[in-house]
C-alpha cells in the first residue's frame, strides 16, 4: 500500500516552525537547517518543499495570513459591523496566539521593506483584505447604517491601517486589551450612524 503523504499538512508544519524560529531567534536566523531542527524533520524534507529560504519565507507569510483569515471566516454569516469588528480585532495582539502572530507579522513587514518577493506577496494579499472591509462598508451603506457619503475604499484603507498601526503600541504594552477594543469600537461607532 503506498504511503499517503499530506503535502499541504507538511508544508504547514514547516511554515509553523519558520514562525517559531523567527519569533525565538529573529528573521536572519531562519535557514533550512534551523527550520528542519525546529520542525524535527530532515534537511532533505525541508529542501523537498522549499528550494530556497525565500520560498520558505513566502510560504510562512502566506500561512500566517491564512491563520488569521480562517478565524475571521469561522465567524460565519454576521452583520457588516460585527465582521468589521472581528476582522480588525483578529489582527491585534490581544491574546497569546495573536501576540505570537503579531511579533512574527512585524518581522515580516520589516523584511518585506527590503525583500522584493515578500513585498510582492504582501501587495498580492492586501487588496483582498481591503476588499473584505470595503464590502462590509458597502453592505452597511445599502441599509443606511453607514452614510452614503462615506467612501468605502478610503474607509477600508483607514480601518486596516489603524489596525496595523495598533499592533506595535499594543505589543510593547502601551495599550491594554480594553483600550484597544475601546479604540476600535470608538472608530466603528463614528462610521456607523446606527
User: Which residues contribute to the site for its own copies (CB under 8 A)?
Assistant: 23, 26-29, 102-103, 106-107, 109-110, 112-114, 119, 122-123, 126-127, 151, 154, 157-158, 160-169, 171-175, 179, 182-183, 186-187, 190
Q: How far is the CB of 45 from its own copies (least distance, A)?
A: 26
Q: What Rg, from alpha-carbon coordinates, does the chain have?
A: 19
Q: Rank residues 78 and 120 by Cβ distance to its own copies and give the closer one.
A: 120
Query: How many angstroms from the chain centroid is the CA of residue 28?
Result: 20
Q: Rank residues 16 and 101 by Cβ distance to its own copies and give the closer one.
A: 101
Query: How many angstroms from the chain centroid is the CA of residue 118?
Result: 14
| Size (the chain), residues | 194
Q: Rank residues 76 and 154 by Cβ distance to its own copies and give the closer one.
A: 154
What's the distance, Cα to Cα, between the start and end of the chain in Å? 61
Q: Rank residues 8 and 28 by Cβ distance to its own copies and give the closer one.
A: 28
Check residue 175 and report its DSSP letter.
Answer: S
Under a CB-based contact definition with an 8 Å cutoff, are residues 115 and 38 in contact? no
Under a CB-based contact definition with an 8 Å cutoff, are residues 58 and 117 in contact? yes
Q: How far is the CB of 12 from its own copies (least distance, A)?
A: 23
Query: How many angstroms from the chain centroid is the CA of residue 97?
Result: 12
> What whole-number distance in Å separates Cα of residue 23 and Cα of residue 188?
32
Check residue 29 and report its DSSP letter.
Answer: G
Q: How far is the CB of 192 from its own copies (least distance, A)?
A: 13
Q: Rank residues 5 and 172 by Cβ distance to its own copies and give the closer one.
A: 172
Q: How far is the CB of 177 from its own copies (least distance, A)?
A: 14
Q: Rank residues 74 and 186 by Cβ distance to its own copies and give the closer one.
A: 186
Q: How many CB atoms lie within 10 A of CB 178?
A: 9
Q: How far is the CB of 26 from its own copies (least distance, A)?
A: 5
Q: How far is the CB of 163 from its own copies (least distance, A)?
A: 7
Amino acid at each position: 500500500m503506498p504511503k499517503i503523504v499530506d503535502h499541504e499538512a507538511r508544508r504547514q508544519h514547516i511554515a509553523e516552525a519558520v514562525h517559531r524560529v523567527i519569533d525565538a531567534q529573529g528573521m536572519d536566523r531562519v535557514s533550512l537547517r534551523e527550520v528542519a531542527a525546529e520542525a524535527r524533520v530532515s534537511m532533505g524534507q525541508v529542501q523537498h518543499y522549499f528550494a530556497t529560504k525565500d520560498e520558505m519565507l513566502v510560504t510562512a507569510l502566506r500561512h500566517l495570513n491564512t491563520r488569521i483569515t480562517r478565524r475571521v471566516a469561522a465567524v460565519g454569516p454576521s452583520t457588516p459591523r460585527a465582521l468589521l469588528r472581528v476582522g480588525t480585532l483578529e489582527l491585534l495582539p490581544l491574546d497569546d496566539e495573536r501576540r505570537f502572530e503579531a511579533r512574527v507579522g512585524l518581522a515580516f513587514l520589516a523584511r518585506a521593506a527590503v525583500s522584493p518577493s515578500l513585498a510582492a506577496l504582501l501587495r498580492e494579499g492586501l487588496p483582498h483584505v481591503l476588499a473584505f472591509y470595503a464590502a462590509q462598508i458597502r453592505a452597511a451603506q445599502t441599509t443606511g447604517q453607514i452614510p452614503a457619503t462615506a467612501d468605502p475604499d478610503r474607509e477600508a484603507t483607514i480601518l486596516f491601517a489603524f489596525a496595523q498601526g495598533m499592533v506595535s503600541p499594543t505589543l510593547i504594552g502601551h495599550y491594554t486589551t480594553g483600550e484597544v477594543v475601546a479604540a476600535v469600537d470608538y472608530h466603528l461607532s463614528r462610521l456607523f450612524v446606527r
